[in-house]
Chain A
Amino acid sequence: MSAERLTKARRRQPNANSDDAPLILVKKERSALRIDALDRKAIALGLTPGMTLADARARAPHLAVAQADADADERLMLRLAAFCEQFTPLVALDPPCGIMLDATGCAHLFGGEAAMRACVLQAMARLSFTGCAAVAGTPDAARALARFGAEGVTPPGEDEIFTRPLPIAALEAPRETSVALTRAGLTTLGDLADRSSAALTARFGAETMRRLTRILGREDARITPLRSLPECMVERRFAEPFLDLAAIENVLRPLIAEAMGILEKRGEGGRAFEARFFRTDGAVAALNFETGAPSRNVEALLRLFHLKADSLADPLDPGFGFDVIRFCVLRAETLAQSQIGFERQSAQESDVADLVDRLAARFGRERVLRFAAHETHDPVRAASYVDAAASPSSRPTLWEKPEPGEPPLRPLFLFDPPQPIETMAETPDGPPMHFKWRRVRHMIARAEGPERIAPEWWRNAVGRERRTRDYYRLEDREGHRFWVFREGLYESETAAPRWFLHGLFA
């Protein structure tokens, strides 16, 4: 494994107005405003982090001062990390202000580790960040080298030779430890490495020793990347920034086709996809979409991409152009190699599945639904809505066929919750003669009922017991048909049953 460590010396480049004045960022610490970060000019003046603002002002009255903003710093680091994903898919944040790139298997694409390092530094410089970068065998070695010593590339297996001259500070141990080590006359890591590790562990703790062994490359630790590796990834790099959004299909189609070719060899189809656009100015736009069933259909995926791009709140903006366009398959599932058109029915079904995918991509999966039946007599629980993209359509239907000759017994539309109505009935347990709903009085011309539906007592929560419902089908004089119910059995359950409108018939 070879890793690359990249440290930014400072968080932010000075703004235009502070170009001539040294910039410091301050934050409140131990009841005083102290310097948190500073630029090169401020360092040249002899200022150091931790110094109070008053002291700094006394030395250099023309300082430009800004408030430190840890959140903004973190957001910036995340954006930069996303930007760095164009070099390798395995990118991790290395707090406070570093980014770790795992260059395993990537360096040769840039013409070697040195060339890759130069390429990363150049990209950073273009974004007007000053960076230090080192390539070494382990993440810790790279970090220590980049921050405290020789930048550059460490040849494989020579980590220890390169890291031995580093100062004790490279351990980044607590202050007391560093002071104690320095007092003991140990100034470099090499001095430390020559001592017996048992004695050092006893004196300075296991954590310090672990850092030492890692920096020296004797122990290897993996980085935890921000995002896991996609199943398959293809990309195009452009010599000149890619500007023409209208021609994006010309880039994406071969990209997707290439990715699908890889999947086909594996006998897989993609479920979740991502298109990433790395802009010249460091911004990264990502567009994710999913399909309901594993797919290798290039045209369908392109359509999904366009739908997703159209539905974006802020449209895809090439700015000064894209450097890299990447297409990833984030999730894949087994998909047998099929002969399209061999079986007519399945082709038709996949067309409908494609349509559902397209609609789900545009409107959101929670809005594209299918009806699911449940075996219960409770009319509310008998039917539910499920995500159409997730559930296959070819499931045997559970819906009950209506009895021939019967009128519709269930309404076309259901209210949730049922709407309270005021009724007037001849007898307390009879159908209403008229009822008032939404301030309109409906005179009942026809009625049928009751259809008594008892609650599912095994579902009743204690204290919130549902009552028996007597359902009636009603029709008013105008011909509107209603499904109403009286809640609670008269006398046995309640003295004053309440009425509700539950649904409307066509």
Chain B
Amino acid sequence: MTHPLASLRKSLACAYPAVTSETIALGAPALDRRLGGGILRAALHEAYAETAADAPAATGFALALARRAMAGAEKPLLWARQEALTAESGAPYPPGLADIGLDPAAVAFIRVRDAKEALQAGAEAGRCATVGATLIELFGEARAYDLTASRRLALAAGAAGAPIFMTRVAASPAPSAAASRWLVRAAPSRALGANAPGSAAFAIFLLRQRGGAAGQEWHEWRVEWNRDRGAFEDRTFDAPSLSGPVASLFVGGAPDEGASQTAERKFG
């Protein structure tokens, strides 16, 4: 006969599955070190587009994170996108999805009318353990996305063990139950031959990390998404910039950039 306390523990463990501390490494060593290994897998993560023009960057960043989260698992991505975003930045284009390393065949896409529906769809998908990752995209200040709604999503992610990513466009960062909150901006890419635009590059700013020390050092990273490796790569080689985002824009250039970058600095 088992000890009553042991059986109670067991039933409690069933009712409240332990929040796993498994993390998703981003692949960029400096960033992962700063994050303490990466971002939590079974959690909610937010990416705010700095301006409305950075909406594709925020989505790209979230999709890249989702790609990292789903690496090796034959699980689909569920993508709920508020319809208003189509007018703002267009409709998802599957070949472009393939170009950043996701299999378009493994994506279920839901066009939702408003934030409320987006959250319902996201929560429904987030609860499903067979979904590899969930991406919810909201446009504007969404009253439906309050602390309670975000907690619900975080719990769903915790129970299913798969991350939920939330991108916000034209919204200012607000408190939520997210494990990490990022401010994302498009960053100049590393030029290829003949000054052609290179791989997707992001300027990301960690606003909050649960249990982390975010906000203490105002640090912005430049990362590049390497689709072939399926990993982020650090692009910041010089000392972190200490000022706001505007001034940091042209400071963190990679050393291997050509003459065009130098020319740019003059403009900046």
Contact = CB atoms under 8 A, between A and B. Distances in A.
Interface of A: 345, 348, 351-352, 355-356, 358-359, 362-363, 367-371, 373, 379, 382-383, 385, 388, 393, 395, 397, 399-402, 404-405, 407-416, 440, 443, 445-448, 473-475, 477-481, 503-506
A393 B104 contact: no
B266 to A, nearest CB: 11
A261 to B, nearest CB: 27
B93 A481 contact: no
Nearest to B192: A407
A475 B188 contact: yes
A397 B197 contact: no
Interface string B82-99: 000000011111111111
B198 A407 contact: yes
Contacts of B91: 413-416
A358 to B, nearest CB: 6
Residue among B55, B78, B186, B264 with max Cβ neighbours from chain A (10 Å)? B186
A223 B227 CA distance: 65
Nearest to A474: B197
Interface string B174-211: 00000000000111110110111111111100000000
Contact of A408 (B74, B187, B191, B200): B200
B25 interface: no
A479 B189 contact: yes
Nearest to A418: B90
A401 B94 CA distance: 12
Given A355-B131, A371-B109, A481 B99 contact: no
12 contacts: A351-B129, A351-B130, A352-B108, A355-B78, A358-B124, A388-B109, A412-B92, A413-B93, A448-B195, A479-B201, A480-B186, A481-B186
Contacts of A348: 75, 130
B110 A368 contact: yes
Contact of B199 (A362, A379, A399, A407): A407
Given A358-B124, A397-B103, A412-B60, A473 B108 contact: no
Given A355-B128, A505-B56, A368 B103 contact: no
Given A408-B100, A443-B267, A506 B121 contact: no
A384 to B, nearest CB: 9
Contacts of A409: 99
A184 to B, nearest CB: 70
B101 to A, nearest CB: 8
Contact of B95 (A382, A388, A481): A382
A355 B196 contact: no
Nearest to B187: A479
B188 A479 contact: yes
A220 B261 CA distance: 90
Nearest to A307: B124
Majority SS at the chain B contact face: mixed
B95 A399 contact: yes
Given A407-B189, A407-B192, A408-B99, A481 B197 contact: yes
Given A363-B117, A446-B260, A393 B76 contact: yes
B56 A383 contact: no
Contacts of A362: 120-121, 124
A477 B264 contact: yes
B228 interface: yes
Contacts of A479: 57, 185-189, 201, 203
A105 B121 CA distance: 45
B200 A481 contact: yes
B125 interface: yes
Given A355-B130, A369-B108, A478 B199 contact: no
Contact of B96 (A358, A370, A410): A410
Contacts of A443: 267
B262 to A, nearest CB: 12
A503 B93 contact: yes
B53 interface: yes
A402 B59 CA distance: 20
B117 A504 contact: no
B63 interface: yes
B105 A504 contact: no
A352 B128 contact: yes
Given A412-B93, A443-B267, A478 B104 contact: no
B96 A408 contact: yes
A506 B64 CA distance: 10
Top 3 A-B pairs, shortest CB-CB distance: A506-B60, A448-B196, A413-B90
Nearest to B186: A479
A369 B189 CA distance: 32
B165 interface: no
Contacts of A383: 93-95, 104
A123 B128 CA distance: 46
Contacts of A393: 76, 105
A367 B111 contact: yes
Contact of B56 (A371, A373, A413): A413
A214 B43 CA distance: 73
B249 interface: yes
Which of A356, A412, A481 has the largest count of B CB atoms less than 10 A from its CB? Answer: A412
Listed residue (B63, B74, B98, B104) with the most chain A CB atoms within 10 angstroms of its CB: B98
A414 to B, nearest CB: 4
Contact of A359 (B90, B121, B227, B268): B121
